[in-house]
Amino acid sequence: MRASIQSKPIITNHNMINTMNNVPCPVCGRPTKHQIDGRCRNCFLETVTLASIPLVIHANICPMCGSVKKGKHWEDPNYEIEYLMRDVIKQKLKIDFQAHDVTTSISLTNSNASIYRAQITVTADIKGVKAESQLNTEVRISKETCDACSRMAGGYYEAIVQIRAEGRFPDEHEQQQMVKLIDRVVERQNQRGDRFAFISNAQELPEGTDIYLGSNSTARQAVRTAVERFGCTYSESPTLAGKKDGKDIYRVTYSLRLPRLVPGDIINVGKDTVLVNRSAKMTNGLYLESGLEFSEHTDRLKNANKVADVDEAENAVVVSVEHDMVQVMHPSTFKQVTIKKPVHFTGTGGEDVRVILMEEIIFILPS
Ligand SMILES: [Zn+2]
Ligand SMILES: [Zn+2]
């Protein structure tokens, strides 16, 4: 009895202070300076669920490309598996809507390649109170082939790009260049998020190469790039491939034609021999005999034939130069051949030059 009597004034004393700034918590009775939602800090935190997460999270990952399924969609990987696991966890993590300044740290351990255990610490500010929550979860990885990989494996395509050339067959080097260009566009479009930017098939034919692409928009990009870079022309023809969700599905064939003439071609134009430097709408180059500039609408060169290639050039020695005539030693017959001096030649005799041989005729190439 005495003890309780003795303690009474202490409580009273306490209560006096409370009326100033310490009020007992209505839930636990402890004195508290700042009440949050009418209770002390601890009792307030009891009412709050800062963060929650399912005990088990299922993640589908494509074993072919590492894409991760999010809802019904697949998202490209481009990240390490641990990064993906953190991403999957963050997506499933529910945080109280009143929380501010949220920081989340996740520590991962994996016992095998398909199960990742995670310890998650969430700290935040709720109504001015610092709160922390420790959670555990387990990510179970299932393997599922993604939409893009299953399409690729099934040889799916939306477009065919046919690599051809105008009035001739494209040579191997040209075809390789075009395939490389398409490859680069595919890679770029893939990085930009076109999941179906892939090559599903390639066929080499006598007249050129056919490239089958999973994405029509990527095929179109590739064709446009080829037009810009190589002066190609193209035609496109859609064919009905079936129906999907009541809509007609088309496949598009792009017939891409490399220009008939390419830099380095040596052609006959009437009686003249011309070295082609550029050919798009206009063809520009040099008259090999005079060294003067040549320029003509490509349309008007339909009868011009390729007679040699600049790659076939050989070395020869200039013996002497007199006025507008040059004497060159033929590199295989060693006879001296006299030709008109082309305007680009400024030598005086004794120098090595690159020449194009056409039977008995010699053309000096510009250096
Ligand atoms: Zn309390
Ligand atoms: Zn995949």
Residues with CB under 5 A from ligand 1 (ion): 25, 27-28, 40, 43
The Å distance, Cα 28 to ligand 1 centre, comes to 4
Q: Report yes or no on 282 lying in a domain.
A: yes
Look at residues 201, 231, 258 and tell me which one is the last residue of a structural domain: 258
pLDDT at 80: 81
The Å distance, Cα 202 to ligand 2 centre, comes to 20
> Does 40 share its domain with 52?
no
pLDDT level of residue 291 (50, 70, 90 thresholds): very high
> Does 270 share its domain with 247?
no
pLDDT at 274: 96
The Å distance, Cα 64 to ligand 2 centre, comes to 5
DSSP state of 39: B
The Å distance, Cα 218 to ligand 2 centre, comes to 18
Q: Report yes or no on 203 lying in a domain.
A: yes
DSSP state of 170: P
Domain holding 31, by residue range, is 1-45
> Does 111 share its domain with 18?
no
| pLDDT, tens digit, 9 for 90 and up, residues 6-40 | 333 333 333 333 344 678 999 999 998 888 888 99
> Does 141 share its domain with 53?
yes
Look at residues 145, 174, 194 and tell me which one is the last residue of a structural domain: 145
User: Minimum-distance ligand to the CA of 27?
Assistant: 1
CB-based contacts of 259: which residues, under 8 Å, 6+ apart? 165, 166, 230, 231, 232, 233, 279, 280, 298
> Does 179 share its domain with 211?
yes
Q: What is the number of alpha carbons within 13 Å of residue 55 lying toward its C-beta?
A: 0
Flag the least confident range among 110-114, 161-165, 340-344.
110-114
pLDDT level of residue 3 (50, 70, 90 thresholds): very low
The Å distance, Cα 82 to ligand 2 centre, comes to 18
Please state the pTM of the whole predicted model: 0.64
The Å distance, Cα 76 to ligand 2 centre, comes to 8
Is the pLDDT at 223 greater than 70, yes or no? yes
Give how far Cα 225 sits from Cα of 181, 291, 298, 329, Å: 8, 33, 21, 45
pLDDT at 21: 65
User: Minimum-distance ligand to the CA of 23?
Assistant: 1
User: Minimum-distance ligand to the CA of 76?
Assistant: 2
- Are 274 and 237 spatial neighbours (Cβ–Cβ below 8 Å)? no
Q: Which two tokens stand for residue 242?
A: 């079936």
pLDDT at 13: 37
User: Minimum-distance ligand to the CA of 68?
Assistant: 2
> Does 273 share its domain with 346?
yes
| pLDDT, tens digit, 9 for 90 and up, residues 232-270 | 899 999 998 888 888 888 899 999 999 889 899 999 999
Q: Report yes or no on 150 lying in a domain.
A: no
> Does 204 share its domain with 251?
yes
Look at residues 238, 258, 278 and tell me which one is the last residue of a structural domain: 258
User: Minimum-distance ligand to the CA of 152?
Assistant: 2
Is the pLDDT at 176 greater than 90, yes or no? yes
| pLDDT, tens digit, 9 for 90 and up, residues 178-197 | 999 999 999 999 989 899 99
Q: Which two tokens stand for residue 132?
A: 């922390």
Tokens 């339909």 appear where?
302
> Does 250 share its domain with 274?
no
β-pair type (159-165, 115-126): unpaired
pLDDT at 124: 95
Is the pLDDT at 5 greater than 70, yes or no? no
Q: Which two tokens stand for residue 240?
A: 């009905």
Interval 298-308 mean pLDDT: 88
Is the pLDDT at 2 greater than 60, yes or no? no
Residues with CB under 5 A from ligand 2 (ion): 62, 64-65, 67, 146, 149
Q: Report yes or no on 253 lying in a domain.
A: yes
Q: What is the DSSP string of 142-166?
A: EE---HHHHHHHTT--SEEEEEEET
Q: Which residue, among 110, 93, 96, has the nearest Cα to 54 in the 3D structure?
A: 93
Calculate what percentage of the chain has a pLDDT beyond 90: 63
pLDDT at 231: 83
Q: How many domains does the chain have?
A: 4
Interval 313-317 mean pLDDT: 95
β-pair type (159-165, 199-205): unpaired
Q: In what order do the strands lie in the sheet with 99-112?
A: 73-75, 68-70, 56-61, 129-143, 115-126, 99-112
| pLDDT, tens digit, 9 for 90 and up, residues 133-157 | 999 999 999 999 999 999 988 999 9
> Does 161 share its domain with 251?
yes
Give how far Cα 367 sits from Cα of 278, 296, 337, 343, 353, Å: 17, 23, 20, 12, 7
> Does 133 share its domain with 160?
no
Q: Which two tokens stand for residue 53?
A: 């997460």
> Does 31 share its domain with 66?
no
| pLDDT, tens digit, 9 for 90 and up, residues 319-337 | 999 989 999 999 989 999 9
The Å distance, Cα 29 to ligand 1 centre, comes to 6
Could you tell me if residue 77 is left (phi over 0), alpha (psi between -120 and 50 degrees) or otherwise beta?
alpha
The Å distance, Cα 4 to ligand 1 centre, comes to 24
> Does 118 share its domain with 178?
no
| pLDDT, tens digit, 9 for 90 and up, residues 36-71 | 888 999 999 999 999 999 999 999 999 888 888 888
The Å distance, Cα 103 to ligand 1 centre, comes to 26
Rounded mean pLDDT of the chain?
Answer: 89
Interval 270-296 mean pLDDT: 93
